[in-house]
């Protein structure tokens, strides 16, 4: 069974903390993505990566960075967490060809207090 | 910039009826479009992909149409069941073809 695994289901962090969200996929996919999902706003793309050490900004990259040191792992970093980053974070992976499905992790619900 | 709209935030229907969800897009001509299902507190799960040269695609009780002239996809669930209650998202590639962008979703509630 193919899998995208996010390191935490729930996280509570304090304002100003550096936060790492980890994502691992076992499908040897080239492409990996980080989205956040908020009520009324839907899924919004933060960053994505199409290869090791490569990254591209999505629609809302401000306040975030990413790291992809290995093909299977894609990390989202909140450099200094703020309350407006309280959200559901979803990692996804997809193969190289465009007309293929994306596989999502179970999501991390992050609360910044 | 490209935009995806799912017309209804919520749709309530009775068990056994057909649910029809709409997805419209602008400023883009995608080669294919995808539909996902999302249950509360979980990540989206892929359901169907339809290509621009396919008018219709079926999978069990699901049917998707793709009208590139109207820039619209319709998603149908026939003989709906309470277990079909979920949020349904349409998605297509961004213009660079590098990432999927999603509509805001339609939350379907099927009552028995």
State how far the Cα of B8 lies from the Cα of B11, in Å rounded to an integer: 7
What is the per-residue pLDDT for B70? Answer: 93
Q: Please, what is the Cα angle at A30 between A29 and A35, to 5 degrees?
A: 85
HSE, CB side, 13 Å, CA atoms: give it for residue A61: 10
Residues of A with a Cβ under 8 Å from any B Cβ are 4, 31, 33, 35, 40-43, 45, 48, 50, 56, 58-59, 90, 92, 94, 98-107, 109
Write out residues in chain A with pLDDT < 70, as ranges.
none
SS3 for B104? coil
Contacts of A104 in chain B (CB under 8 A): 43-45
State how far the Cα of A67 lies from the Cα of B35, in Å rounded to an integer: 29
What is the per-residue pLDDT for A67? Answer: 97
State how far the Cα of A65 lies from the Cα of A93, in Å rounded to an integer: 17
What is the per-residue pLDDT for B7? Answer: 77
The answer, for B24 touching chain A at a CB cutoff of 8 Å, is no
What is the per-residue pLDDT for A58? Answer: 94
What is the per-residue pLDDT for A16? Answer: 98
What is the per-residue pLDDT for A57? Answer: 96
- Are the beta carbons of A112 and A15 closer than 8 angstroms? yes
What is the per-residue pLDDT for B55? Answer: 86
What is the per-residue pLDDT for A103? Answer: 97
What is the per-residue pLDDT for B97? Answer: 82
What is the per-residue pLDDT for B94? Answer: 85
Q: Who among B45, B100, B103 is closest to A42 (CB)?
A: B103
Across the A:B interface, residue pairs with CB atoms under 8 Å apart total 59
Query: Can you give the pLDDT of all 112 residues of chain B as single tens digits?
Result: 778 999 778 999 999 999 999 999 998 888 899 999 999 999 999 999 999 999 899 999 999 999 999 999 999 999 999 999 999 999 998 888 889 999 999 999 999 9
What is the per-residue pLDDT for B13? Answer: 96
């Amino acid at each position: 069974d193919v899998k995208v695994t996010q390191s935490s289901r729930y996280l509570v962090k304090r304002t100003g903390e550096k936060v790492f969200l980890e994502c691992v996929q076992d499908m040897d996919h080239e492409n990996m993505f980080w989205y956040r999902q908020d009520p009324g706003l839907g899924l919004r793309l933060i960053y994505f990566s199409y290869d090791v050490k490569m990254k591209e900004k999505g629609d809302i990259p401000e306040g975030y960075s990413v790291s992809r040191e290995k093909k299977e792992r894609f990390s989202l970093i909140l450099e200094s967490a703020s309350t407006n980053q309280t959200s559901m974070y979803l990692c996804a992976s997809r193969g190289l060809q465009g007309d293929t499905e994306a596989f999502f992790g179970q999501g991390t619900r992050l609360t910044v207090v | 910039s490209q935009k995806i709209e799912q017309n209804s935030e919520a749709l309530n229907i009775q068990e056994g009826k057909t649910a029809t969800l709409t997805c419209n897009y602008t400023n883009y001509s995608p080669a294919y479009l995808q539909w996902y299902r999302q249950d509360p507190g979980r990540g989206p799960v892929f359901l169907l992909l339809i290509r621009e040269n396919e008018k219709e695609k079926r999978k069990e009780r699901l049917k998707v149409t793709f009208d590139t002239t109207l820039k619209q996809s319709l998603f149908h669930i026939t003989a709906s069941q309470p277990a079909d209650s979920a949020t349904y998202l349409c998605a297509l590639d961004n213009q660079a073809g590098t990432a999927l962008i999603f509509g805001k979703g339609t939350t379907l509630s099927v009552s028995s």
